[in-house]
Amino acid sequence: MTDKVVVITGGSRGIGRATALAAAARGFRVVVGYASNKTAADEVVSQIAASNGKAIAVKCDVAEESEILELFKAADKFGTLGALVNNGGIVGQSGVRVDEMSAERIQRVMAVNVTGSILCAREAVKRMSTKHGGKGGVIVNLSSVAARLGAPNTYVDYAASKGAIDSFTIGLGYEVAGEGIRVAGIRPGLIDTEIHASGGEPDRHHRLAHMVPMKRVGTAEEIANAIVWLLSDDASYITSAILDVSGGR
């Protein structure tokens, strides 16, 4: 158990929601960052409170630096930051080739998935690094098996953004390893969340389930369990590592 604060971006739905609930169950004080759906974020907070946990919801579109700064200011008021889960992310319309992509789409995907994650990590390092007077902590970045597979004819821009997250995870882990901070990544496979619908193909994960060696899609809770394990002392000798949670895909 811990009384440290964990900031979870994209915490109102899917993997973020499951992680918020799992982290609260392990004693974390949870800051639920959400881009737009306040109702969903408030429901997560209420569910945590109903189990005697502590949580707050804070609006944060991670493509906006000003909102990231406000997110971490709220976390400062809530307690001592001990962890960040960089979960906020988007996909563009599925089934679009690179020769059909607009600059606006590519820039938005990169702004949310890459720049937003780096800026959130920057704020976490400022607070957790022993170099800055912090007490250490953990950063978990959400990548995707798309970083390895490339997502051809689906969303190569999203795959590229997650490849960047893999590189960032490894490099940042080396950078702050001597300052009490561990950095790890999670590469989810085909997971039953709303992200497929946001890409315009709500049944995509079920359509592709036959490609998974385990012959099924994963759940948000299975990803959340891996994340909170990485946040725990059970993973105390793990940094600059990326864990596939993908049914073998």
For residue 77, pLDDT over 60 is answered with yes
Would you state the pLDDT for residue 3?
Answer: 80
Q: How far apart are CA 247 and CA 205, in angstroms?
A: 13
What is the domain-level CATH number for residue 24? 3.40.50.720
The answer to which of 47-56, 143-152, 158-167, 212-221 has the lowest mean pLDDT is 212-221
**Structure token pair of residue 249:** 């895909």
What pTM value is reported for the model? Answer: 0.94
Would you state the pLDDT for residue 210?
Answer: 85
Would you state the pLDDT for residue 211?
Answer: 84
Compute the mean pLDDT over every residue in the chain, rounded to the nearest whole number.
95
Query: In this structure, are residues 31 and 75 in contact, taking their beta carbons and an 8 Å threshold?
Result: yes
Structural domain for 40, as ranges: 5-245
Q: How many CA atoms lie within 13 A of 243 on its CB side?
A: 19
Q: Which of 34, 155, 158, 174 is catalytic?
A: 158
In the annotation, is 158 catalytic?
Answer: yes
3-state secondary structure 153-188: CCCHHHHHHHHHHHHHHHHHHHHHHHHCEEEEEEEE
Domain count within the chain:
1
Closest CA to 186 of 152, 153, 233, 218: 218
Would you state the pLDDT for residue 195?
Answer: 62
